[in-house]
Amino acid sequence: MESITISQLTKMCNVSTRMLRYYEQIGLLPSHRTDGYAYRMYDVQAVTRLQQILLLRKLRIPLKQIQRIFDNPDAEIAWEVFMQGMQECTDEITALTTMRRVLKGFVSKLQASVGLSLQSVLFSDETMLDAINALSMTKIQFKEARSMDEVNKAHETLSKLKNVRIIQLPPCTVAACHFIGENPEGTVGDMMGKALLEIKLYERKPDARMFGFNHPNPSKDRPHHGYENWVTIPDDMDVPAPLVKKQMKGGLYAVHTITMPNFHEWVDLREWVENNEKYEADYAPEDTEIMGGCLEEHLNWVYHNHLGWPEELSESQLDLCSPIKLRNS
């Protein structure tokens, strides 16, 4: 197989371009560039490596442990990681087996005595109580039922995210950079980074912030999606091409922090907004193709990319920002 593009690899393995770029950023997945072609390419070895990563992730092996396995060809490291995974599975199997035994005991008691009260079934057998008390809630991956009534569903959704913040983003001037094509997030980030170094933005504005959003959104009807970055700048600053000067209107946002590459938590944040009693979504209908006004703030980007801050000092994090307003406002 010849080298393939990032778009071809995402379709082949059903992963996102962001996930591939993150795996490359942390040193898990190699890529290369060919003469006369600006985009990242992946050879047979890289495809095999990605398949290995995805297989290990399905086995619940953390990314840091996967990195250890790849960095150390000695089988002892893999043995250690897999033994740890086996122990975690054993703990979970033991907990589930205990649960099944206790539930089976409850069922047998209820079948034997039709008139028996629930309280007597639950609290009369000290052996069962000891078995239940020994269970750890954190060792078991519970699956919540999806057929709950609306009140319970709303409560579940609101309880899922514990760190949602309500913030007001002020209006400000931004330098914007946009790209549609292969790996738009990485390409536009590189373009933005080079331009900001040229104008020495951080000497004039050390508190600059970087935002991004799909433009347009990924779709099966088009070969590529796009991404746009905004970086806050002084109002009187001129920006070089390919940057464009724009005004960010600001507003009220529900904000949730994620670590890369957990973009699936966008769904959780939107559900949180939809089920909130005080706030409701304030999406812009005309901005459907650019995430309805939602933003992603790239935290620590300035430090990692321009001020030499070592990556190991902080995880790669983003703030997911969903526009909101007071209900009935």
| Number of other residues whose CB lies within 10 A of the CB of residue 231 | 25
> What local confidence, expressed as pLDDT, does residue 145 receive?
40
> What local confidence, expressed as pLDDT, does residue 124 receive?
59
Q: Alpha-carbon distance 74 to 3, whole Å?
A: 29
pLDDT tens per residue across span 74-97: 888 889 999 998 988 888 888 888
192 within domain boundaries = yes
Residue ending a domain, choose from 71, 103, 127: 71
**Do 196 and 282 reside in the same domain of the chain?**
yes
How does strand 210-214 pair with strand 295-298? antiparallel
Which range of residues forms the domain containing residue 308?
165-326
pLDDT tens per residue across span 279-322: 999 987 766 677 888 999 998 776 666 666 665 555 578 899 99
Question: Quick one: DSSP state of residue 171?
Answer: P
308 within domain boundaries = yes
The pTM for the full model equals: 0.63
**Do 54 and 187 reside in the same domain of the chain?**
no
84 within domain boundaries = no
Q: Are 292 and 324 in contact (CB under 8 A)?
A: no
> What phi and psi, each to the nearest 5 degrees, are found at residue 122?
-75, -30
> What phi and psi, each to the nearest 5 degrees, are found at residue 189?
-65, -40
CA distances from 15 to 252, 264, 304 (A): 32, 12, 25
> What local confidence, expressed as pLDDT, does residue 158 receive?
45
Q: How much of the chain exceeds pLDDT 70, in percent?
A: 76
158 within domain boundaries = no
